[in-house]
Amino acid sequence: MTETQILENKLDVYAIRQQFPILSRDVKDKPLVYFDNAATSQKPRVVIDALSNYYQQYNANIHRGIHTLAEEATMAFEATRDSVQAFINASEREEIIFTRGTTEGINLVAYTWGRQNIGEGDEIIVSVMEHHSNIVPWQILCKEKKAVLKVIPVNEEGDLIVEEYQKLLSDRTKLVSIAHVSNALGTVNPVRRIIELAHDAGALVVVDGAQSAVHLDIDVQQMDCDFFAFSAHKLYGPTGTGVLYGKKRLLESMPVFLGGGEMIKEVSFEKTTYADLPYKFEAGTPNIADTIAFKAALEFTSSIGKQRIRDHEMELLSYATSRLTEIPGLKIIGQAKEKISVISFIIDKLHHQDIGILLDNQGVALRTGHHCTQPLMQRFGISGTTRASFAIYNTKDEIDIMISGVKKAIKMLS
């Protein structure tokens, strides 16, 4: 790249920050420094406006109405499905199922495909770095079906040990369910390779995309995953809505999930028939407003471009890593070969919760605790970490504020 191209490609972070109203508020009389993006990102004005515009202009229930408001709401809701299809490069719009988020998407697969296809002695593989949302549904299923849950280990750096995964695969493996990116360590897992190996063994693969959809280019056809679940709220979109992608032939072959309105063709006491995809899996009134506003979030992300988002965030990650490493007694948990902008750390003799509270007093929002990954914390022999996770609107100046906050906290607590 020439110098001019680099400059043109450079992000105007300060212009982007203007689009996020919340970033101008103070916390404890200090300007907010929001580093809890892996838990949920902040929302740009376009998303907030889309949400309020729906309620102010065309609030109506979707799909069944013939009046103007119902038609406008239906069109806007279905337009999000088209945007999601393009965003993850799904081949069919029917493959996009709206859910409440990643957790519901994974549970949907467990309760439908899982109940139909998992039997006694079958094996499901997850990894030790999974979020509880990608452990507990499979534990429930395994208990019910007398199946076995197997666990891929990670090394000290936080990389999955692929050779150990290969050893776990057998003709008893029916499913592999794996995080694309770890929320606690930031590790990017080699999902393409994991999927290839699973398919060779005759198993299907669920990818938990909760942390990857905002940072990485997602192409479900190229990845060849069987299912991909993610949430809008980690992607500059609203809470309470998300997506389960599934290959059409699998979704078609699966039994229904929740029963009720929207998911039926005809109901009688003798026999009920079910709607075609995607409505078969969308029982009841969905989260119309948030799903409509999700489209604005996808457009916001695409208008900046994932590569530019990544470049900016990687610059922040590498700056934060080198600054944190300067601090005596501080240890970074998770130094995988490929990472996104999540940095987890522990400090000698200090409890992560105390650090979190002292940083909050300085306006810095960090996440502390086990990050819904207790088995991973057990693997590292710790009860939790302090985690900073960066988004498109964060800056190096904010990292400096966090660093001086951490140094101050160490002085106060030791």
- Asked if residue 210 binds ligand PMP (CB under 6 A), the reply is yes
In 119-214, beta strands by DSSP E: 123-127, 148-152, 173-179, 204-208
- Given the complex with ligand PMP, which of 103 and 362 has the nearer CB atom? 103
124: tokens are 């499901």
Site for ligand PMP in 266-305 (CB under 6 A): none
- Asked if residue 102 binds ligand PMP (CB under 6 A), the reply is yes
**Could you tell me the CA-to-CA distances from 225 to 37, 48, 199, 206 in Å, in that order?**
26, 32, 9, 6
Q: Is 98 left (phi over 0), alpha (psi -120 to 50) or beta?
A: beta
Which of 41, 80, 211, 362 binds ligand PMP (CB under 6 A)? It is 211
To ligand PMP, the closest distance from the beta carbon of 119 in angstroms equals 26
- Asked if residue 51 binds ligand PMP (CB under 6 A), the reply is no
Site for ligand PMP in 161-180 (CB under 6 A): 179
Which of 112, 231, 341, 386 binds ligand PMP (CB under 6 A)? It is 231
- Asked if residue 183 binds ligand PMP (CB under 6 A), the reply is yes
DSSP single-letter state for residue 114: I
| Residue 225 annotated as catalytic | no
Choose one: 55-63, 98-106, 142-150, 287-295; the region binding ligand PMP (CB under 6 A): 98-106
Are residues 136 and 162 in contact, defined by beta-carbon separation less than 8 angstroms? no
SS3 string, 279-307, reads HHHCCCCCCHHHHHHHHHHHHHHHHHCHH
- Given the complex with ligand PMP, which of 134 and 368 has the nearer CB atom? 134
To ligand PMP, the closest distance from the beta carbon of 82 in angstroms equals 22
Choose one: 206-214, 317-325, 356-364, 384-392; the region binding ligand PMP (CB under 6 A): 206-214
The radius of gyration of the chain's CA atoms, rounded to the nearest angstrom, is 22
Site for ligand PMP in 121-160 (CB under 6 A): 131, 133-134
- From 184, 218, 206, 113, select the one nearest 344 (Cα to Cα): 184
To ligand PMP, the closest distance from the beta carbon of 48 in angstroms equals 19
**Could you tell me the CA-to-CA distances from 141 to 56, 112, 122, 175, 399 in Å, in that order?**
43, 10, 11, 12, 43
Instruction: Given the residues 39, 46, 60, 372, select the one marked as catalytic.
Output: 372
d(CA 159, CA 171): 25
By rule CB under 6 A, what count of residues binds ligand PMP? 13
Residues annotated catalytic, as ranges: 372
Binding site for ligand PMP (CB under 6 A): 101-103, 131, 133-134, 179, 183, 208, 210-211, 231, 372
